[in-house]
Structure 1
Amino acid sequence: MPMRALALTALLLGSAACRTPRPEAGAAARADLSVATCELPSSPAELIPLAEAPIPGELHERFDLPDSPAWWAPAPEDAERQRYREALVARLGAGGVEARALLARSREQFAAQALPLRREAENNARVLEGGAGTVGPTSCLEWRLFQRQARRFPMLEHPTEFSAYVLRGQGRLHVYFSGADRAGAKLRSEVTERVAAEVARGFVLVAHAHNHNFMFDRVPGDRLWTTPETVNVVGGGVAPSLTDVQAYRGMHEALGLQGAWVTNGLETGRYTAGDFTRLSAWEPVP
């Protein structure tokens, strides 16, 4: 399911003057040790508290990592990733898990729907036709973020979404990871205010990352927001949804967002700020 972006402006325009907390003692050292194998530290530099009660399974974490080339290299084909790939192939066939096949399937399924759902086909078509973005193997950083959420909630048996802001500066990566027990992401001002403060002191918001779930055995009214029209929509495509693009445009304006990554754990669609205007965004129905 796409990110819920309707309250984005209010969240992003929260105070950018809050002071970003310093990493806990030893956090950077632990991160420096873990980067040799491109693994996130077992504990974040900060667990971000919320002013209101969290939704089930909700957490927000900040990681402070050395900016090493290892994070940007293709993800390792470790045992967890192999099992995930094999389970998908068992459901969809070897060709069915390829990014272009998933994009084509989503385009056809959405194109057959009534408006406004039909418009979700637009970005799938644009990516397939080379009009926006690039698609390639998931990077190590993208996989580790996906893996962190998958270890909390198995992605195929209990699909959920994570989202993450990735900032770069001073030889470091600061990653703000969010996830909950839901298909969809909830933007919180406690996170966006910290991101804004990082940008104000010179860090660059290089990307916003999130995953698009595979969703099997859907039933109208289930936890995946399934309707009779979407009961056969498997998902897993790496084109951004209309609400994703609406959110990206707001983040670009408010925070200088430079790019966006949409991953299914195997492949990732990567989009530049220029792509945000080439892609279709959600618009209210007149």
Structure 2
Amino acid sequence: MLDMQQLNRRRALGLITTALLAPACGGAPADSAASPPPRPSPSLGKASEVISVNEPRPGELHLVFDIKDTPELHTPLPDDDRIASYRSRIAARLHGDVSPRELLRRQRAVMESIGSERARGDAENAAMLLEGRAGTLGPATALESLLFLEQAGRWPMIEHPSEFGAFILRGKERIRVYFSSFESVGGKIRGEVNERVLADEKAGFEVLAHLHNHTFMFDRVPGDRMWTTPETVNDVGGALAPSTTDVQFYRSIREMIGLQGAWVTNGLDTARFAASDFDRLNAAG
């Protein structure tokens, strides 16, 4: 028979063995695969080139970005403090509603009240987007948000509204962006940029879309830098329907370059149009 001292030693040994085995028995199998590391957040990276243009306007800048084509670029950007802050500030100015449909209804009413031929065309374009007859609405993708933030990094978008345009190309597992930034509301299409896009298309790139932003515009007065007239004082912008001037541009570029679509963003949401929509939308005559 075991005396008490031997029994206690065996019990202690059993407890030690159990403690040593517990992690292996209760934890994950030793050969289980480790969790994959989180994917890096999408980024434009540094511009690969600056395109020089003839007689640039003050603040005008044309950049080229070459980015690896990943699924993350084409889905909404993960939580970003800059976008969240911008949304909150816009919502405060608009008393809460920044939905793309409400912005379209607001601008449609302004254009209908003006009553000119061009304004009626702009109002009808808004109606077509609202009613699903042309284009679709959705959250801004990471690529669209990053380009908007690139512009916002140059000028504060609420205090100093400004616009950018960008040709979005895809090829060779890359996204190539020709980004044109302007200090003003509205910009100028440059032949130097168009020539580069055309050359890339001939080299096998798809011209997915032309993207530009419709900026929000507050505290407007007639004759200001936002081209405000007495009729547009209450137009806060940010609506995603293309203007008749936009559509005229899309049609002309489609004839020159194989433009597959057009995207209009306000930094929060985006309207996307196929090339076939250009013929349904109203264009400046």
TM-score relative to the length of structure 1? 0.84
Alignment correspondent of 2:60: 58
Aligned partner of 2:192 in structure 1 is 190
CA distance in 1, matches of 2:94, 2:166: 28
SS across alignment from 1:269: strand
Query: In the alignment, what sits opposite 2:32?
Result: none
CA distance in 2, matches of 1:254, 1:36: 37
**1:49 aligns to 2:84 (yes or no):** no
Q: Which SS does the other structure have where 1:238 is aligned?
A: coil
1:28-87 Cα shifts (integer Å, max 9, x gaps): xxxxxxx9311111x21110011x221010000011111111110112221101110010
Query: Residues 130-145 of structure 1 correspond to what in structure 2 (within 5 A)?
Result: 130-145=132-147
- The one-letter amino acid of 1:46's match is E
Matched position secondary structure for 2:208: strand
Residue 207 of structure 2 corresponds to residue 209 of structure 1: no
CA separation in 2, counterparts of 1:247 and 1:60? 19
Question: Residue in 1 aligned with 2:41?
Answer: 37
Percent of aligned pairs with the same residue?
52
- Structure number with the bigger relative contact order (C-alpha 8 A, sep ≥ 6) is 1
C-alpha displacement of 1:119: 2.4
Q: How does 1:9-20 map to 2 (within 5 A)?
A: none
CA deviation vs aligned residue, 1:128-162 (integer Å, no higher than 9, x gap) = 11101000000000000000001101111100001
CA contact (8 A) 1:36 1:70 kept: no
User: Shift of residue 250 of structure 1?
Assistant: 1.1
* AA in 2 matched with 1:166: I
**Alignment size in residue pairs:** 246
Partner Cα separation in structure 1 for residue 255 and residue 100 of structure 2: 29
Structure 1 partner of 2:3: none
Which of the pair has more CA radius of gyration?
2
Q: SS of the counterpart of 1:76?
A: coil
1:259 to 224, 247, 261: 261
Partner residue, 2:113: 112
The question of whether the paired residues in 2 share the 8 Å contact of 1:153 and 1:159 is answered with yes
Give the structure 2 partner of residue 227 of structure 1.
Answer: 229
* 1:173 corresponds to which of 172, 175, 192: 175
Q: Report Cα offsets for 1:209-240 as digits up to 9, x if no partner.
A: 00001000001000000011111111100111
SS at the partner of 2:149?
Answer: helix
CA contact (8 A) 1:111 1:119 kept: no
Counterpart of 1:45 in structure 2: which amino acid?
Answer: S
> TM-score normalised to the size of structure 2?
0.85
1:97 lines up with 2:98 in the alignment: yes
Letter of the 1:65 counterpart:
I
Counterpart for residue 83 of structure 1: 85
Q: Distance in 2 between matches of 1:44 and 1:205?
A: 19
Q: What value does the CA root-mean-square deviation take over the aligned residues? A: 1.0
Structure 1: unaligned runs, 5 residues or longer: 1-34
After TM superposition, list the pairs within 5 Å mapping 1:242-253 onto structure 2: 242-253=244-255
C-alpha offsets along residues 248-285 of structure 1, whole Å, 9 cap, x if unaligned? 111111101001110001100000011111111111xx
Give me the whole-angstrom Cα distance separating, in 1, the residues matched to 2:121 and 2:179.
29
Counterpart residue type for residue 47 of structure 1? V
Q: Is the 8 A contact 1:165 1:209 kept in 2?
A: yes
User: What are the Cα deviations for residues 154-200 of structure 1, in whole angstroms up to 9, with x where unaligned?
Assistant: 11110000100000011111100001110002111110000000001
Asked if 2 retains the 8 angstrom alpha-carbon contact of 1:75 and 1:137, the reply is no
Q: Please list every run of at least 4 consecutive aligned residues from structure 1 whose deviation after the TM superposition is greater than 4 angstroms.
A: none
Q: 2:201 aligns with which of 199, 202, 208?
A: 199
Quote how far apart the aligned CAs of 1:208 are. 0.4
